[in-house]
Amino acid sequence: MSERQLFLGGYVLFPSGHYAGAWRHPYSSRDWLGRDFLHQVARTLEAAKFDLAFIPETVSFRDGFERHGLSNAIKHDPAQVAATIAAVTTHLGVGVTLSTSFNEPYNLARTLLSLDHLSGGRVAWNVIQSNGPANYANFPHVEQLAGAELYDRGDDFVEAVTALWRAWDDDALVQDQETGVFVDTSKVTIPDYQGKYLSVRGPLNLPPSPQTHPVIIQAGDSPRGRQFGARWGDVIFAIERTPADLRAKKDDLKAKARALGRDAEKIRLFAAVQPIVGETTEIAKARRDYLATRITPEAGVEFFSQFARLDLGGVDLDAPYLQVLEERATEGQAEGRAVVQLTELLGNRAGNVTIAEAAVEFSTSELTPQLVGTGVEIAEQLTDIFASGAADGFLITPTHFPGSFDDFGRAVVPHLQRLGVFRTDYTGTTLREHLDIA
């Protein structure tokens, strides 16, 4: 067995995730609202020995997204989803996304520390700042910040939350029935956090959890976002097209973390990938080709326009892709990540495809790399990326729910185990133990 082991997370973003047609896939669930679906996902991920299930968040309704069933068209409260998953598992970690913009530090710190206790120390917080006016419309009293200032406020927020999580010493809860002392209050500090943007007195009425406090996940990508991730992230999520790009991101983040005095070897970079498993390579390729057939041109164009922040309203679906970009995209939009990477992905075909064809291709994985093949082939591809040092783990993004996780667990995981890069069983119980950062 190799000494370094890779980590696995499951992307629980439904009814469509990075694949805009997931809910229309014939193998997909239709039960997005009840607990049975979540229980099934949770048990599948735990049977496959995943480190964590990851629950994303959004707090706005976007008409085009809802109409076409795109990502976030159904959105439960992520903490409730996490509680539902934790209740039927014993080892699987659960990453909960919550925003620094639309929560109070006290409430958020308490929700997550409670979940961490109730799950036996299996919770992570994916820290998001929630950019964009649609979200703010639901929180009219919140001042809308952008760019670096949003992250400055985020720093204050995480400082406040971690101060609340660390207010009790490990041995503050004494419960001495003889003396009548329940909490040794000399071992509880009052954080009294005063930041530039917010303040909170504390403490919480909760001691440290079995893993002290939740693990912190971060996925910022702008220069300021990466700085934030380097400061706070135990786990970093990345979506990059190539292993070389992943490697560059990882090196950048770890250098930033070292400059902040952190032990960069303890930071885990998870790369998002979309595995498409087949009984044979040909079947897997046919499955990959099938995906585009479940996305209408309208849904694809809606999805792409949101990511590219490009107004494609009323566009002629048969107009050439490059011509539409020329007519509709400002300089900033044309240089944006979605447009640049989609054009790169299309390569020589870019001049010959319509905007609808290009947008549908984008919407099969939202530019998340697709790994196509048999279980053995996909396990080998993952192992190569991992062995090259480009990623510490992978975030598995499904094409259908919950079958993609079943396929991965049955057809890929045994080969990762055979190759000696993935656990055959959990050796600890907390998420920090799984990630080897306890």
For binding to ligand FMN (CB under 6 A), which residues are involved?
Answer: 56-58, 97, 128, 130-131, 219-222, 225, 237-239, 272, 395
Identity of the residue numbered 2: S
Instruction: With CA atoms as reference, report the closest residue to 366 among 1, 17, 5, 95.
Output: 17
- Taking the complex as a whole, the smallest distance from the CB of residue 13 to ligand FMN amounts, in Å, to 7
- Taking the complex as a whole, the smallest distance from the CB of residue 234 to ligand FMN amounts, in Å, to 15
Query: Widest CA span of the chain, in angstroms?
Result: 82
- Taking the complex as a whole, the smallest distance from the CB of residue 99 to ligand FMN amounts, in Å, to 7
Map tokens 């990075």 to a residue.
18
CB closer to ligand FMN, 188 vs 253: 253
- Taking the complex as a whole, the smallest distance from the CB of residue 150 to ligand FMN amounts, in Å, to 8
Q: In whole angstroms, what is the distance from residue 188 CA to residue 184 CA?
A: 7
C-alpha distances in Å from residue 118, one per residue of 94, 115, 142, 214: 12, 5, 31, 12
Q: In whole angstroms, what is the distance from residue 69 CA to residue 384 CA?
A: 35
CB closer to ligand FMN, 222 vs 281: 222
Nearest residue to ligand FMN by CB is: 225
- Taking the complex as a whole, the smallest distance from the CB of residue 220 to ligand FMN amounts, in Å, to 4
- Taking the complex as a whole, the smallest distance from the CB of residue 369 to ligand FMN amounts, in Å, to 12
CB closer to ligand FMN, 230 vs 359: 230
- Taking the complex as a whole, the smallest distance from the CB of residue 348 to ligand FMN amounts, in Å, to 28
- Taking the complex as a whole, the smallest distance from the CB of residue 275 to ligand FMN amounts, in Å, to 15
CB closer to ligand FMN, 18 vs 415: 18
- Taking the complex as a whole, the smallest distance from the CB of residue 320 to ligand FMN amounts, in Å, to 29
Q: Which residues pair with 124 in a beta bridge?
A: 95, 215
